[in-house]
């Protein structure tokens, strides 16, 4: 099954600062609009992945996994997980269902995200940005893009990161996620730290409406 015909090929665009990151230096993406700012030289395109992106996505996964997780679990476990979890076959069904996203910069896939949805809960299964492109707003743009595309069809976004991946924890906390619980998914690995962010509108007492 191919992607639905009504789907727009480009979800949004994210301005990329080439040399340094600046806190809040990048706009949230606005689908279909490009707003250039002084000093910005390139624009990363946030869009649904296609079959043609598979090799680029695998390269992002392998490079980013090795850089992120080797210090936490060692290279042997990383390579074993890459061989099982980052395969073309594993990506294809997600791509066909429109659950995989990429950021492209100058024609190269530099980041990817994947999600699944069930019972109005969107699970962000993967969010990986090439280390060479960290801190440029691309991860935020992908996260916002996935949330925006889900729109009113989900109430909450949940995700997990590996305990010890403090940069990821800080990234999600700064974007409104709150830790809900921890669990051990794989024996011998650190805990998965689960976080959630409600998409329901806030009511005056600071809680979220029930829908």
Ligand X SMILES: CC(C)(COP(=O)(O)OP(=O)(O)OC[C@H]1O[C@@H](n2cnc3c(N)ncnc32)[C@H](O)[C@@H]1OP(=O)(O)O)[C@@H](O)C(=O)NCCC(=O)NCCS
Q: Which residues bind ligand X (CB under 6 A)?
A: 21, 23, 64, 68, 127-129, 134-140, 161, 165, 167-168, 170-171, 174
Q: Are 159 and 146 in contact (CB under 8 A)?
A: no
Place of tokens 């700064």: 174
Nearer to ligand X, 158 or 200 (CB): 158
CA distance 98 to 37: 31
Sign of CA dihedral 62, 156, 195, 29: positive
Nearest distance, CB of residue 53 and ligand X, angstroms:
17
Nearest distance, CB of residue 128 and ligand X, angstroms:
5
Nearer to ligand X, 73 or 127 (CB): 127
Count CB atoms within 10 A of the CB of residue 34: 13
Nearer to ligand X, 3 or 194 (CB): 194
Residue 168 parent element (H or E): helix 166-174
Nearer to ligand X, 101 or 171 (CB): 171
Nearest distance, CB of residue 138 and ligand X, angstroms:
4
């Amino acid at each position: 099954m191919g992607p639905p015909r009504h789907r727009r090929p480009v979800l949004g665009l994210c301005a990329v600062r080439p040399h340094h990151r600046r806190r809040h230096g990048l706009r949230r993406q606005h689908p279909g609009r490009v707003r250039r700012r002084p000093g910005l030289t390139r624009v990363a395109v946030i869009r649904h992945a296609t079959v043609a992106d598979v090799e680029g996505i695998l390269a992002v996964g392998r490079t980013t996994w090795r850089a992120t997780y080797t210090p936490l679990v060692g290279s042997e476990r990383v390579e074993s997980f890459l061989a099982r979890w980052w395969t073309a076959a594993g990506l294809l069904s997600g791509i066909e269902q429109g659950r995989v996203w990429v950021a492209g910069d100058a024609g190269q896939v530099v980041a990817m995200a994947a999600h699944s949805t069930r019972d109005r809960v969107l699970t962000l299964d993967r969010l990986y940005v090439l280390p060479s492109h960290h801190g440029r707003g691309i991860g935020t743009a992908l996260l916002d893009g996935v949330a925006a595309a889900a729109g009113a069809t989900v109430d909450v976004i949940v995700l997990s990161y590996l305990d010890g991946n403090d940069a990821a924890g800080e990234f999600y906390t700064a974007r409104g996620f709150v830790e809900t619980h921890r669990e051990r998914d794989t024996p011998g690995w650190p805990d998965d730290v689960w976080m959630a962010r409600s998409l329901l509108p806030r009511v005056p007492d600071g809680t979220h409406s029930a829908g």
